[in-house]
Structure formats: C-alpha cells, structure tokens
C-alpha cells in the first residue's frame, strides 16, 4: 500500500538520493517543501513546490523510483501538493514529451516569455543546455 504524506526531516537523505538518481533538481532542498510516497517505510517518490519569490512558485523535483513508475504515484503526489497552494499560480518547466502528464494534472502550456523573471532566466539557461541535446522544454502553469 502506497502512502502519500508530507515529508519529515529523516526523509531528506532518501529524497536527495532519489533526486540524484533521476537527475532531479536537488538544489536548496528542505524536507518541508516535499510530499512523499512511501511503500511501507521505503520512500518511492517525491515532489516539491519551490518558493522562488513571493509571487512565484515552481513545481519541481518530481521523481519516482523506477520500479514504481506507471502506478499513478506521480499523479497522486501532484494532486496532494497542489492542495497546499490554492491561491497562487504554480509554474513548472518540463520536457515537451511529458506535457500530457501535466495537462492531466490541471496544468496549461504557456509561452515562456510570460514566466516571472526569476523562472524565465532558468528556462533560458536550461533551454540552451537541452537544445544541444535535441530536447525541448516547455513552460506550464496551474491556476
């Protein structure tokens, strides 16, 4: 049985390890930003909302242990973390081939030019890196 719950301090090492394993964003992590999925006591997934400024929140660091993928854990994590922030828009940057997953969670594609400044500069930085690898990223919003 998979449980979806707020992370606790002792989860942070496992969260960091999972994010490193899937090349997730593990910059400036704090356990209180995360919702986690656990199979008994084993951490099998996580997601966080990063507060980039007073008016800019970013959904980040969605990661699921490989053998647990395809079981709707990511969708459940997103559903739970979105309950925490209902009064402000939440942005995300993702690979274009994952857009339908986020659309199904209530996000809409937006032009990166309307992102808040702090996130627009991150988009440009990541875009330049991924363009060399023939990968496309897109900007999305949940309101």
Q: Quote the pLDDT of residue 36.
A: 98
- Distance CA(77)–CA(64), nearest Å, equals 10
Going from N- to C-terminal start, the domains of the chain cover 2-142
Q: What are phi and psi of 123, to 5 degrees?
A: -60, -50
pTM: 0.90
The answer to whether domain 2-142 has CATH 3.40.630.30 is yes
> What is the CA 63 to chain-centroid distance, rounded?
8
Q: Quote the pLDDT of residue 108.
A: 98
Q: What are phi and psi of 28, to 5 degrees?
A: 50, 45
Q: What is the mean pLDDT of each run of 10 residues along the chain (143 residues)?
A: 96 94 84 96 94 89 94 96 88 93 96 93 83 86 95
**What three-state secondary structure class fits 73?**
helix
């Amino acid at each position: 049985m998979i449980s979806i719950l707020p992370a606790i301090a002792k989860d942070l090492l496992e969260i960091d390890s999972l994010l490193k394993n899937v090349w997730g964003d593990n910059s400036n992590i704090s356990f209180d930003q995360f919702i986690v999925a656990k199979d008994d006591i084993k951490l099998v997934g996580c997601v966080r909302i990063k507060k980039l400024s007073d008016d800019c929140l970013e959904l980040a660091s969605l990661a699921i242990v490989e053998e647990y993928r395809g079981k709707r854990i990511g969708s459940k994590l997103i559903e739970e973390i979105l309950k925490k922030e209902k009064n402000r828009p939440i942005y995300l940057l993702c690979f274009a081939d994952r857009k339908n997953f986020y659309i199904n969670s209530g996000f809409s594609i937006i032009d990166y030019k309307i992102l808040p400044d702090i996130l627009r500069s991150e988009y440009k930085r990541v875009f330049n890196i991924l363009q060399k690898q023939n990968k496309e990223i897109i900007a999305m919003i949940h309101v």
